[in-house]
A and B are shown apart, each in its own frame.
Chain A
Amino acid sequence: MIRDITIGQYYPVDSPIHRLDPRVKLAGTMLFLISLFVFSGYFGYVIATVFVGAVIKISKVPFRYIVRGLKPVLILLLFTLLFNVFLTREGTELFSWGIIHIYDQGLITAGLMAVRLVLLVLGTSLMTFTTTPNQLTDGLEKGLRGLKKIKVPVHEIAMMMSIALRFIPILIEETDKIMKAQQARGADFESGKLIQRAKALVPLLVPLVVSAFRRANDLALAMEARCYHGGDGRTKMKPLKYKGRDAVAYLILFGYLGLVIGSGFLPL
Chain B
Amino acid sequence: MKKSMLRTKNLVFEYIRRDEEGNVEDILRALDDVSLEVQKGEFVAILGHNGSGKSTVAKHINALLSPTEGAVFVNDMDTKEEEHLWDIRKSAGMVFQNPDNQIIATVVEEDVAFGPENIGVPTEEIWRRVEESLSAVGMTAYRTHSPNKLSGGQKQRVAIAGIMAMRPDCIILDEPTAMLDPVGRKEVMKTVHELNKIEGVTILLITHYMDEVIDADRVIVMDDGKIVMQGTPRQIFSQVDKLKGYRLDVPQVTELAYELKKQGVPMPDGILTIEEFTAAYTTAKAKVVQGNV
Binding site for B on A (CB under 8 A): 10, 12, 132-134, 162-163, 165-166, 169-170, 215, 218-219, 221-229, 233-239
Contacts and interface: CB of A to CB of B under 8 A. Distances in A.
A223 B103 CA distance: 9
Residue picked from A163, A169, A239, most chain B C-beta under 10 Å: A169
Contacts of A225: 62, 64, 89, 93-94, 96
Given A12-B144, A227-B89, A227-B115, A235 B106 contact: no
A215 B101 contact: yes
A170 B148 CA distance: 8
A170 B166 contact: no
A222 B102 contact: yes
Interface stretch (B30-38, B68-76, B122-130, B266-274): B122-130
A224 B64 contact: yes
A235 B89 contact: no
Contacts of A134: 105-107, 110
Contacts of B118: 226-229, 234
B121 interface: yes
Contacts of A236: 117, 123, 126
Q: In the complex, which of the residues A165, A234, A235 has the most CB atoms of chain B within 10 Å of its own CB atom?
A: A235
B120 interface: yes
A225 B114 CA distance: 11
Contacts, number: 99
A264 to B, nearest CB: 40
18 contacts: A133-B105, A133-B106, A134-B106, A163-B104, A169-B148, A215-B98, A218-B101, A219-B101, A219-B102, A222-B101, A226-B89, A226-B162, A227-B119, A229-B86, A235-B126, A236-B126, A237-B117, A237-B127
A10 B113 contact: no
Given A134-B110, A225-B93, 8 more contacts: A12-B145, A222-B104, A224-B89, A225-B64, A226-B93, A227-B89, A227-B90, A235-B120
A229 B104 CA distance: 14
B126 A237 contact: yes
A215 B100 CA distance: 9
Contacts of A219: 101-102, 104
B146 interface: yes
Contact of A237 (B59, B110, B144, B166): B110
Given A10-B146, A218-B96, A218-B98, A226 B110 contact: no
B250 interface: no
A222 B155 CA distance: 14
Contact of A234 (B105, B110, B117, B146): B117
Contacts of A229: 86, 118
Contacts of A239: 123
A229 B90 CA distance: 13
A229 B105 CA distance: 16
B34 to A, nearest CB: 20
Q: Which 7 A-B pairs have the closest CB atoms?
A: A222-B102, A237-B113, A218-B101, A227-B118, A226-B115, A225-B94, A237-B126
A214 B153 CA distance: 21
A233 B122 CA distance: 11
B62 A12 contact: no
Nearest to B94: A225
Contacts of B145: 12
